[in-house]
């Protein structure tokens, strides 16, 4: 165990020897000499001996000082891997103080190594008890029911990285920081209007009824001006982000990924069915259960009742809506099926699409949705399920020819039901509760703040990205990524590959990767304000939400018009884009990262996560290509079995072996990258007086308790890897009296 601040044994011994020498050589006191007066001869003798005594004492002092200095130098050289290499300054930023408090509540392997021996994230460290398998001789509280409870509590405690990002965005929107940008002000106002549930409940269904009248009325209420369904469809797509008959996307063609340049295309996909469906893999068809239809019918009736529809018309219009919904839902197919059938990214012109599905005015609707982009009939589009598009057009054609439907507006009713579904997040709780109860969705209620952050991101993602971008320490983040990549290449080079062909392929793949941060074009606040100039955000959430949907479509128009790269603001892990390894801004937010953190924390947390993500991304099947995976995982598992004193006998599956290797390798990669960083700049801040390596490992341990998306594949607590790492490293000496000598001969 490392205690840098406490005196070493040689230091203590030297100090004791100095005390003994001092006591032995000092002259006796006058009381010991007696009470009689001293003679001149005594005084002369004392005068003669005094210089000798001073000389002796001075020499003894110099000798002790030399010994103490020598012991210090030896001790320093022995522990320099654990001691700060440069100037140590405490980090006193607000972010550091919060992190220090958080770390102080967790286990520190260097302060209590025996407690940390088999660390569990649910341990009660204050009472010295563990709710899981402990070290040999430690109090045990293990039972099947206890383990099940521990797993449930652990899953409740874990905070995934997306939630951490949403919490950071919430703090940004909640902050009282003065902003000069009107777009940023609008984003904050929108968020706070979403939180104002009292006003939303008071408004009830009235805002949606007003919206229906703005669109020409509704046959359900008997007031409808019989507008053409294609013109209504175009308005719904452009102004309200609603796509009843098909989905509208903008993005690149993956078949062009190898080209020097690629463009964005309008993409036509099947819609998300409102009616719950099931896929029959044996028959390869979509099915709807009768019980599901009954529940959905009841839900739609309830919606119409909330909207004040007359009882006489409800059954007719709900029946028409259910009938059309069923006919369209059964011709949708899951993504994996369309992928195997080659139904994705089918390129055709708008003219060709018109000939395949003539009941939709494709050019007119797309021109309305993407105005002012100039579109012609020869514009290429990408279709993801042409069989559905064809069947949808045929269904509409048959419906319009049926005399019973000529005056009731079933298509218009179908589109407005879809609009209602889009607007439910902006309506009072009666509408959302109806959907949950009738469809019997068993899900935990989403916190209101989370919903509001997600809705704000849908329309104001460009504003939130600007918030993240301006607070990003770009140079430092890029340096961390570069160091991790360098260390990772070194690790891959040292692996024992099963074949040179595989080694060359992986090495080449990694060598030509270009890492970068995933951001859209750099936008000034003036450009943000210009983009959001047409949006008037007030206190009424319903109309704010309606404008947000318009802003959402405006973002699509920008992607198509300027051929810009769309960013996923809520992405929290790196992605491959051709030869680019792209890191989203959402990875680098507190508590995972903050510019003021000591580098030890940055590398112990975000450095480890980056390394782990890259290994998962680039080497999904590394177990089959390298013998090192099994060797390392077996070594780590052997350490673990010895620590459990035989209470665990299971062996690891290939998936578990790979995950152990990935996380142990990621820890080594991050630590190596941090050590390289310290060589270039030995000065790093610290927390609670911890040495750099101690702080690195403590931060690593804590983040794996807070967030571990691969916990199902990890057979042990990731923090046990600290024990294994320190067993073979001079950087961290972690010893417990319960350790069983000799140390394993295997090297992990």
Which pLDDT does position 647 carry in this prediction?
73
User: Tokens for 139?
Assistant: 């109090």
The stretch 65-80 carries a mean pLDDT of 48
Handedness of CA 324, 327, 330, 331 (dihedral sign): negative
**Long-range own/partner contacts, residues 55-64 (CB < 8 A, 24 or more apart):** 56/25, 57/25, 60/18, 60/21, 60/22, 60/25, 64/14, 64/17, 64/18, 64/21
The stretch 624-634 carries a mean pLDDT of 92
- Quickly state the pLDDT bin for 142 (edges 50, 70, 90): very low
Distances (CA, A) of 698 to 85, 124, 496: 18, 17, 30
Q: Is the distance from CB of 359 to CB of 229 less than 8 angstroms?
A: no
User: Between 293 and 136, whose confidence is greater?
Assistant: 293
Query: Which residues are CB-neighbours of 650 under 8 A, at least 6 positions away?
Result: 715
Query: Which residues are CB-neighbours of 608 under 8 A, at least 6 positions away?
Result: 666, 667, 669, 670, 700, 703
Which pLDDT does position 324 carry in this prediction?
94
Which pLDDT does position 745 carry in this prediction?
45
Least confident of 56-70, 106-120, 215-229, 675-689: 56-70
Which pLDDT does position 106 carry in this prediction?
67
* Mean pLDDT of the residues in the chain: 81
709 pLDDT exceeds 80? Answer: no
338 pLDDT exceeds 60? Answer: yes
39 pLDDT exceeds 50? Answer: no
Query: Which residues are CB-neighbours of 524 under 8 A, at least 6 positions away?
Result: none
Which pLDDT does position 555 carry in this prediction?
86
Which pLDDT does position 177 carry in this prediction?
84
Using only the alpha carbons of the chain, give its radius of gyration. 35
- Quickly state the pLDDT bin for 65 (edges 50, 70, 90): low
Q: Beta partners for 248?
A: 268
* Model confidence, pTM: 0.78
The stretch 161-171 carries a mean pLDDT of 94
Using the 8-state DSSP alphabet, how is residue 252 labeled? E
Which pLDDT does position 146 carry in this prediction?
35
3-class DSSP state for residue 511? Answer: helix
**How does pLDDT run across 217-240, given as a tens digit for each residue?**
888 877 788 778 899 999 999 999
- Quickly state the pLDDT bin for 356 (edges 50, 70, 90): very high
- Quickly state the pLDDT bin for 567 (edges 50, 70, 90): confident
Which range scores top for mean pLDDT: 321-335, 396-410, 522-536, 705-719?
A: 321-335
27 pLDDT exceeds 80? Answer: no
H/E segment holding residue 249: strand 247-252
Which pLDDT does position 123 carry in this prediction?
46
Residue 369: name the closest of 219, 225, 246 by CA.
246
Q: Is the distance from CB of 318 to CB of 300 less than 8 angstroms?
A: yes
3-class DSSP state for residue 540? Answer: coil
- Quickly state the pLDDT bin for 190 (edges 50, 70, 90): very high
- Quickly state the pLDDT bin for 20 (edges 50, 70, 90): very low
Which pLDDT does position 31 carry in this prediction?
35
DSSP string, 97-158: HHHHHHHHTS--TTTSTTTTTT--TT-BTTTTB-SS--STTS-----HHHHHHHHHHHHHH-
For the CA atoms of 31, 32, 33, 34, the dihedral, rounded to the nearest 10 degrees, stands at: 50
d(CA 556, CA 187): 18
Query: Which residues are CB-neighbours of 682 under 8 A, at least 6 positions away?
Result: 84, 85, 86, 87
Which pLDDT does position 701 carry in this prediction?
84
154 pLDDT exceeds 80? Answer: no
Which pLDDT does position 90 carry in this prediction?
92
Which range scores top for mean pLDDT: 24-33, 53-62, 209-218, 331-340?
A: 331-340
Least confident of 152-161, 689-698, 732-741: 152-161
Which pLDDT does position 281 carry in this prediction?
92
95 pLDDT exceeds 60? Answer: yes
- Quickly state the pLDDT bin for 704 (edges 50, 70, 90): confident
Which pLDDT does position 134 carry in this prediction?
37
d(CA 243, CA 625): 46
Which pLDDT does position 15 carry in this prediction?
37
Spell out the alpha helix ranges (H) of 330-447: 335-340, 350-356, 362-369, 386-401, 410-423, 429-439
- Quickly state the pLDDT bin for 107 (edges 50, 70, 90): low
The stretch 616-620 carries a mean pLDDT of 91
* Helix 608-618 × helix 500-511 angle, to 10°: 130
Q: Is the distance from CB of 219 to CB of 409 less than 8 angstroms?
A: yes
Between CA 706 and CA 656, with CA 114 as vertex, the angle to 5 degrees is 50
415: phi then psi, degrees, rounded to nearest 5: -70, -40
**How does pLDDT run across 264-275, given as a tens digit for each residue?**
999 999 999 999
Residue 496: name the closest of 321, 612, 625 by CA.
625
Distances (CA, A) of 621 to 577, 583, 617, 709: 20, 22, 10, 18
- Quickly state the pLDDT bin for 127 (edges 50, 70, 90): very low
User: Tokens for 239?
Assistant: 């102004």
Query: Which residues are CB-neighbours of 635 under 8 A, at least 6 positions away?
Result: 724, 744, 746, 747, 748
The stretch 55-63 carries a mean pLDDT of 59
Which pLDDT does position 222 carry in this prediction?
72
Class of domain 209-426: mainly alpha
CATH fold, domain 86-159+473-520+574-748, is Collagenase (Catalytic Domain) (3.40.390)
Characterize the bridge pairing of strands 247-252 and 264-269.
antiparallel
Least confident of 4-18, 199-213, 671-685: 4-18
Query: In the chain, count of helices (H) and strands (E)?
Result: 29, 13
């Amino acid at each position: 165990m490392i205690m840098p601040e406490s005196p070493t044994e040689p230091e203590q011994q030297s100090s004791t020897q100095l005390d003994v020498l001092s006591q032995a050589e000092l002259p006796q006191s006058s009381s010991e000499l007696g009470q009689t007066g001293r003679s001149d001869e005594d005084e002369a003798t004392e005068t003669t001996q005094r210089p000798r005594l001073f000389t002796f004492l001075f020499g003894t002092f110099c000798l002790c000082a030399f010994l103490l200095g020598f012991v210090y130098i030896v001790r320093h050289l022995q522990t320099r891997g654990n001691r700060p290499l440069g100037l140590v300054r405490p980090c006193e930023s607000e972010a550091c103080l919060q992190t220090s408090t958080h770390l102080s509540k967790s286990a520190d392997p260097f302060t209590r190594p025996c407690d940390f021996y088999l660390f569990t994230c649910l341990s009660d460290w204050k009472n010295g008890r563990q709710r899981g398998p402990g070290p040999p001789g430690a109090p045990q509280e293990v039972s099947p029911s206890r383990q099940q409870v521990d797993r449930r509590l652990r899953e409740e405690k874990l905070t995934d990285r997306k939630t951490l990002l949403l919490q950071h965005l919430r703090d940004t929107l909640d902050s009282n920081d003065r902003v000069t940008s009107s777009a940023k002000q609008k984003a904050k106002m929108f968020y706070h209007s979403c939180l104002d549930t009292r006003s939303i409940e008071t408004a009830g269904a009235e805002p949606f009824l007003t919206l229906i009248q703005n669109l020409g009325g509704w046959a359900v209420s008997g007031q409808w001006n019989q507008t053409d369904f294609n013109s209504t469809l175009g308005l719904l797509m452009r102004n309200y982000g609603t796509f009843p008959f098909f989905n509208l996307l903008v993005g690149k063609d993956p078949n062009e990924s190898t080209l020097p340049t690629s463009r964005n295309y309008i993409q036509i996909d099947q819609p998300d069915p409102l009616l719950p469906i099931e896929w029959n893999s044996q028959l390869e068809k979509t099915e709807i259960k009768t019980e599901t239809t009954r529940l959905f019918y009841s839900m739609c009736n309830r919606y119409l009742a909330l909207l004040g529809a007359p009882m006489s018309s409800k059954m007719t219009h709900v029946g028409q809506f259910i009938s059309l919904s069923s006919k369209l839902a059964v011709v949708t197919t899951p993504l994996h099926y369309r992928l195997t059938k080659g139904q994705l990214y089918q390129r055709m012109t708008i003219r060709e699409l018109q000939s395949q599905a003539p009941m939709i005015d494709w050019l007119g609707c797309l021109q309305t949705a993407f105005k002012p982009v100039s579109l012609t009939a020869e514009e290429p589009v990408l279709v993801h399920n042409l069989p559905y598009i064809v069947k949808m057009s045929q269904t509409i054609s048959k419906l319009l020819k049926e005399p019973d439907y000529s005056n009731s507006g079933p298509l218009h009713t179908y589109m407005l039901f879809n609009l209602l579904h889009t607007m439910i997040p902006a309506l009072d709780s009666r509408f959302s509760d109806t959907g949950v109860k009738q469809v019997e969705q068993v899900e935990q209620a989403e916190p209101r703040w989370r919903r509001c952050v997600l809705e704000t991101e849908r329309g104001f993602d460009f504003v939130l990205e600007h918030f993240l971008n301006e607070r990003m320490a770009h140079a430092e983040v890029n340096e961390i990524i570069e160091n991790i990549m360098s260390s990772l290449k070194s690790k891959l080079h040292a692996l024992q590959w099963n074949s040179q062909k595989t080694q060359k392929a992986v090495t080449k793949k990694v060598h030509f990767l270009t890492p970068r941060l995933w951001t859209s074009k750099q936008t000034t606040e003036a450009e943000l304000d210009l983009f959001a100039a047409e949006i008037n955000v007030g206190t009424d959430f319903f109309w704010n939400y309606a404008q947000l949907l318009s802003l959402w479509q405006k973002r699509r128009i920008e992607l198509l018009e300027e051929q810009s790269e769309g960013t996923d603001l809520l992405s929290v892990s790196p992605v491959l884009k051709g030869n680019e390894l792209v890191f989203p801004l959402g990875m680098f937010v507190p508590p995972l990262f903050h510019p003021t953190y000591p580098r030890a924390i940055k590398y112990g947390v975000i450095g480890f996560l980056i390394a782990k993500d890259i290994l998962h991304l680039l080497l999904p099947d590394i177990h089959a290509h390298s013998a090192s995976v099994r060797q390392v995982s077996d070594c780590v598992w052997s350490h673990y079995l010895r620590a459990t004193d035989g209470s665990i006998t299971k062996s690891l599956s290939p998936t578990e072996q790979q995950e152990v290797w990935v996380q142990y390798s990621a820890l080594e990669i991050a630590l190596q990258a941090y050590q390289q960083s310290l060589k270039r700049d030995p000065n790093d801040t610290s927390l609670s007086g911890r040495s750099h390596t101690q702080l690195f490992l403590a931060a690593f341990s804590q983040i794996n308790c807070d967030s571990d998306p691969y916990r199902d594949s990890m057979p042990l607590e990731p923090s046990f890897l600290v024990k294994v790492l320190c067993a073979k490293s001079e950087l961290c000496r972690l010893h417990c009296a319960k350790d069983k000598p000799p140390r394993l001969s295997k090297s992990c």
